[in-house]
């Protein structure tokens, strides 16, 4: 099939804004859709700043930057993006929200449009059940944060996902400059099945006084040669997102070890969600 020329991204938060930017820089038109005007404004500011920095660092010319900016549109209604040839849902990590969005995606987009989800942990088969006669077009297309930088896309087939949908997803990932790796449809897939328990354990180590966050992060960073420690990474991902993923793992895999640490739950309850609220494990408000 011909290369995808336009995509709609549902949700303009940390991930949706990154996916839209990556598409635009790869020559694909991107409709950024969010129920929140504020989030759309934030996404637009992030796009302008990132593209501007790319020009400054001579990673792209001013003409290329202008072309990328002109490919992105910002809308609050899904209908306004209905001509898109592909749709990726990147909204809040809650199954009921995603199922509702998928029903709307099914009604809004054409019959040959792939309905992809960027979910970190929710079963693709469960999401696909919301659009039963289109389940063959539903697939997990799991990008990593920050999307413009991270090379991986974890591709997850649901029970009914067709070969054609899978092949087209691998092609789109490649057109966006990514390396796609398949994983099976089990809560958390590979990446978050391994990563989230580690982040949760770092919260326990902090709560139990094993060390302060700075020391936990420094030990893991230098000891494992990671670019950042687990608590700093949790702030970067979003503490609410980590919490929601752990709730899915805990429920779906049926083991208490996945249940979010009380210290993590407390910060989320307090509205300290990490980078996005400029306060999480660490305080970024003065920075
Ligand atoms: P986020 O909280 O930053 O953004 C979610 C956005 O969805 C918000 O802007 C919200 O307004 C919007 N939204 C909610 N309901 C909507 C609706 N009905 N229609 C349109 N927009 C709606 O979350 P995020 O970190 O961008 O995560 C989005 C998805 O990507 C989640 O499924 C998450 O698990 C996954 N993910 C996150 C990361 C990460 O590092 N944050 C990495 C990979 C995957």
Q: Examine the domain organization and report whether 203 and 177 are in the same domain.
A: no
Tell whether 282 is covered by a domain: no
pLDDT band at 219 (very low <50, low <70, confident <90, very high): very high
Q: Which of 145, 162, 183 is the last residue of a domain?
A: 183
Mutate to test the pocket of ligand 1, among 91, 141, 144 (most ligand atoms within 8 A of CB): 91
CATH of the domain at 253: 1.10.1040.10
Mean pLDDT of the chain: 97
Q: Examine the domain organization and report whether 135 and 47 are in the same domain.
A: yes
Instruction: For ligand 1, say whether the CB of 242 is within 6 Å of any of its atoms.
Output: no
Give the distance (Å) from ligand 1 centre to CA of residue 12.
7
**pTM of the predicted protein model:** 0.94
Q: Examine the domain organization and report whether 225 and 136 are in the same domain.
A: no
Report the nearest atom of ligand 1 relative to the CA of 12: 9
Q: Examine the domain organization and report whether 101 and 177 are in the same domain.
A: yes
* Nearest CA owner, ligand 1 atom 34: 120
Tell whether 286 is covered by a domain: no
Residues designated catalytic: 120, 142, 154, 192
Closest CA to 242 of 278, 208, 209, 275: 275
pLDDT band at 96 (very low <50, low <70, confident <90, very high): very high
Q: Examine the domain organization and report whether 244 and 129 are in the same domain.
A: no
Q: Give the pLDDT score at 10.
A: 98
Tell whether 284 is covered by a domain: no
Look at strands 179-183 and 152-157 and give their pairing. parallel
Give the distance (Å) from ligand 1 centre to CA of residue 14.
7
Residue 108: asked if its preceding bond is cis (omega within 30°), the reply is no
Q: Which domain holds residue 230?
A: 193-277
Contacts with 31 (C-beta within 8 Å, 6 or more apart), sequence order: 6, 7, 8, 9, 20, 73, 75, 80, 81, 84
If you average pLDDT over residues 52-78, what whole number do you get?
A: 96
In the chain, the number of structural domains is: 2
């Amino acid at each position: 099939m011909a290369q995808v020329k336009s995509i709609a991204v549902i949700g303009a938060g940390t991930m949706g804004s990154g996916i839209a930017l990556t598409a635009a820089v790869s020559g694909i038109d991107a409709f950024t859709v969010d129920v929140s005007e504020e989030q759309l404004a934030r996404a637009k500011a992030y796009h302008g700043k990132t593209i501007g920095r790319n020009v400054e660092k001579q990673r792209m010319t001013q003409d290329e930057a202008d072309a990328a900016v002109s490919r992105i549109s910002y809308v609050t209604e899904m209908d306004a993006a209905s001509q898109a040839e592909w749709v990726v849902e990147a909204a809040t990590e809650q199954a009921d929200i995603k199922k509702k969005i998928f029903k709307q995606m099914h009604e809004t987009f054409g019959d040959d449009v792939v309905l992809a989800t960027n979910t970190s942990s929710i079963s693709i088969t469960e999401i696909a059940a919301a659009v039963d006669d289109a389940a063959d077009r539903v697939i997990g297309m799991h990008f990593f944060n920050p999307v413009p930088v991270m090379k991986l896309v974890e591709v997850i087939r649901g029970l009914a996902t067709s070969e054609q949908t899978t092949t087209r997803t691998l092609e789109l990932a490649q057109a966006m400059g990514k390396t796609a790796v398949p994983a099976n449809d089990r809560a958390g897939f590979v990446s978050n099945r391994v990563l989230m328990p580690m982040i949760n354990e770092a919260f326990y180590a902090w709560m139990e006084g094993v060390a302060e966050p700075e020391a936990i992060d420094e030990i893991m960073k230098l000891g494992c040669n990671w670019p950042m420690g687990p608590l700093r990474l949790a702030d970067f991902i979003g503490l609410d997102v980590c919490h929601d993923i752990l709730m899915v793992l805990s429920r779906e895999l049926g083991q208490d070890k996945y249940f979010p640490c009380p210290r993590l739950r407390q910060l989320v309850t307090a509205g300290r969600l990490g980078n996005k609220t400029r306060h999480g494990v660490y305080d970024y408000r003065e920075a």
